[in-house]
Structure 1
Amino acid sequence: MLGWLVLGVSALVVGIAKTSIGGVAALPVAGFATFLPAKESTAAVLLLLIVGDVIAVRLYRRGADWAMLRRLLPAVLPGIVLGALLINVVDDRTMTLVIAGCILAALSVQLWLRLRPAAALPNPGHPHLAATIGAGTAAGFTTMVANAAGPVMAVYLLAARVDKLRFVGTNAWFFLLVNVSKVPFSAGLGLFPPATLQLTLVLVPVVLVGAWIGRRVLRAVDQRLFELLTVTAALVAAAALLTRAALTG
């Protein structure tokens, strides 16, 4: 019963994340990984995320920064390949620790940028090419391993000082394109058994409700609160993943 409750809430948060505060997408990752094997949980979350991505693109497609996406997307594929290789060779506990470490690293960068914005980001609207390549590769890796690229993209977009509507629009197109491209890799790894597909079908309506809630949340919060919630959600998700790894160690 508790497991279904957590999975239901996680699916609700997927919808909220896709239409408002993208950083909270790390929370469903932790929720699914708590009650499902980590590798299988990635496939279940992936399918729900794609449902949310389609809704988000439908709502916010005009807000996307395509110049930023064109710079970012080519660096994602190497990260996806590395992530697929990692899934093949590590156990669930190690993978959980890797994802938690990536989230914490992204948060560290975000805090540093907040403390030294002038030195760290001389041209806010156009992040340095090295930062773009690093963010794209990190996003590809973390999204393939456990659908945890939300914090990486949140750090990158917040560092670029995009407003909340451009944030959501760019996020929507980025993750739709990336998540669809991950499906063949996940299928090749055998992560789509019938039980996973059945679970996804049951939870799709919950994602739709979350998307409806998320759209209203985005209208209600200002930019400062939006950024605070994004960072806080990523921190909570990292703590949950580290706790899970400690309990299974």
Structure 2
Amino acid sequence: MDFSIWTQTPMEWGILFMSAFIIGMSKTGIQGLSLISVPLMALTFGAKPSTGLILPILCIADLIAVLYYQRIAEWKYVFKLLPTALAGFVLALLVDKTVPSAGFKHLMGGCLVIVLLVMFWSERKGKENRLSSCWWYGPLFGLLGGFTTMIGNAAGPVMAIYLLSVKMPKYSFVGTNAWFFLAINYLKIPVQIFAWDNITKQTLILDACTTPFILLGGVAGILLIKRLPEKGFRSLTTAVTCLSVLMLLI
């Protein structure tokens, strides 16, 4: 697809700017919202080319979130997830040509449904999610997160479910999420430039045009978090995550 700045239609510009706003809002506010922008961008610009457009937008939004929440993060969770997330990168590159995207989405959606059901069951019974204390629980989510973000920028619900399941307070939730994805998304840049060849000078020019909308979304996310009580934040994040998982199953 031709990404020359002069060839985009008003509809394409509108979807690009709306996606940038949603991504900015998700990074500083409700994680999972960004998955709404993934199918919109894929339908508009093509599945693989759209990942090259989205990644720099994610990186800018991650940087905004980290600058604002820089001192609020549960580092033990970040360090627990990162090693296996990198393994997920490698796995995604190995199976990129062999796994159908539809089958992958359905498989991931099914796995996340199971984890969501365990989390809901634990909360209804008033118990701690015992799985979250198992040694393999965090590393497994790291692997899933690295794999899904490499395949289709779809790691938002994976991370949201993990942080919800360990009952992290809202500011720690957003801060930890911001630092994790800052590391993950910036590590993806060389792969998409040199291996997938879908980040170019033209796509970067388009991404630069979205910066004001990313900033506006970031401010909207910060204001939303300030207004939401802990219970409201958890309920809204859970609802958005469930919607994201449903989108993977469709």
TM class by shorter-chain length?
0.7 to 0.9
Please tell me whether residue 131 in structure 1 is matched to residue 137 in structure 2: yes
What is the percent sequence identity of the aligned residues? 33
Partner Cα separation in structure 2 for residue 151 and residue 107 of structure 1? 11
- Contact 2:41–2:50 (8 Å) recurs in 1: yes
* Counterpart position of 1:246: none
**Aligned-partner SS, 2:161:** helix
Shift in Å at residue 55 of structure 1? 0.6
- Contact 1:84–1:185 (8 Å) recurs in 2: no
* Counterpart position of 2:130: 122
Residue from 213, 222, 239 that aligns with 1:215: 222
**57-66 or 233-242: which moved more?**
233-242
Shift in Å at residue 156 of structure 1? 0.5
Partner Cα separation in structure 2 for residue 107 and residue 231 of structure 1? 12
Partner Cα separation in structure 2 for residue 56 and residue 21 of structure 1? 12
When the two structures are superposed, what TM-score results if normalisation uses the length of structure 2?
A: 0.86
How many residues are treated as equivalent by the alignment? Answer: 238
* Counterpart position of 2:204: 197
Partner Cα separation in structure 1 for residue 37 and residue 235 of structure 2? 18
**102-111 or 146-155: which moved more?**
102-111
Partner Cα separation in structure 2 for residue 3 and residue 65 of structure 1? 38
Offset from partner CA, 1:72-91 (integer Å, 9 cap, x none): 1111111011222333445x
Shift in Å at residue 2 of structure 1? 3.0
Shift in Å at residue 173 of structure 1? 0.5
Offset from partner CA, 1:188-222 (integer Å, 9 cap, x none): 22111333222211112210110011100111112
Residue from 202, 213, 223 that aligns with 1:206: 213
- Contact 2:24–2:216 (8 Å) recurs in 1: yes
Partner Cα separation in structure 1 for residue 40 and residue 146 of structure 2? 21
1:71-82 equivalences in 2 (<5 Å) = 71-82=80-91
Partner Cα separation in structure 2 for residue 242 and residue 159 of structure 1? 21
Partner Cα separation in structure 1 for residue 35 and residue 182 of structure 2? 16
Offset from partner CA, 1:156-188 (integer Å, 9 cap, x none): 111000000110010010000111111111112
Please tell me whether residue 49 in structure 1 is matched to residue 49 in structure 2: no
Offset from partner CA, 1:135-158 (integer Å, 9 cap, x none): 000000001111111100001111
* Counterpart position of 1:160: 166
* Counterpart position of 1:145: 151
**220-229 or 20-29: which moved more?**
220-229
Shift in Å at residue 116 of structure 1? 2.3
Shift in Å at residue 99 of structure 1? 3.2
Shift in Å at residue 238 of structure 1? 4.5
Residue from 169, 186, 191 that aligns with 1:180: 186
When the two chains are superposed, the root-mean-square deviation of aligned CA atoms in Å is 2.1
**Aligned-partner SS, 2:189:** helix
Partner Cα separation in structure 2 for residue 107 and residue 241 of structure 1? 10
Greater per-residue helix proportion = 1
Partner Cα separation in structure 2 for residue 2 and residue 78 of structure 1? 38
**63-72 or 131-140: which moved more?**
63-72
- Contact 1:103–1:234 (8 Å) recurs in 2: no
- Contact 2:28–2:218 (8 Å) recurs in 1: yes
- The 1:97/1:120 distance shift into structure 2, 3 A limit, reads farther
- Contact 1:46–1:179 (8 Å) recurs in 2: yes
Please tell me whether residue 18 in structure 1 is matched to residue 5 in structure 2: no
- The 1:27/1:70 distance shift into structure 2, 3 A limit, reads same
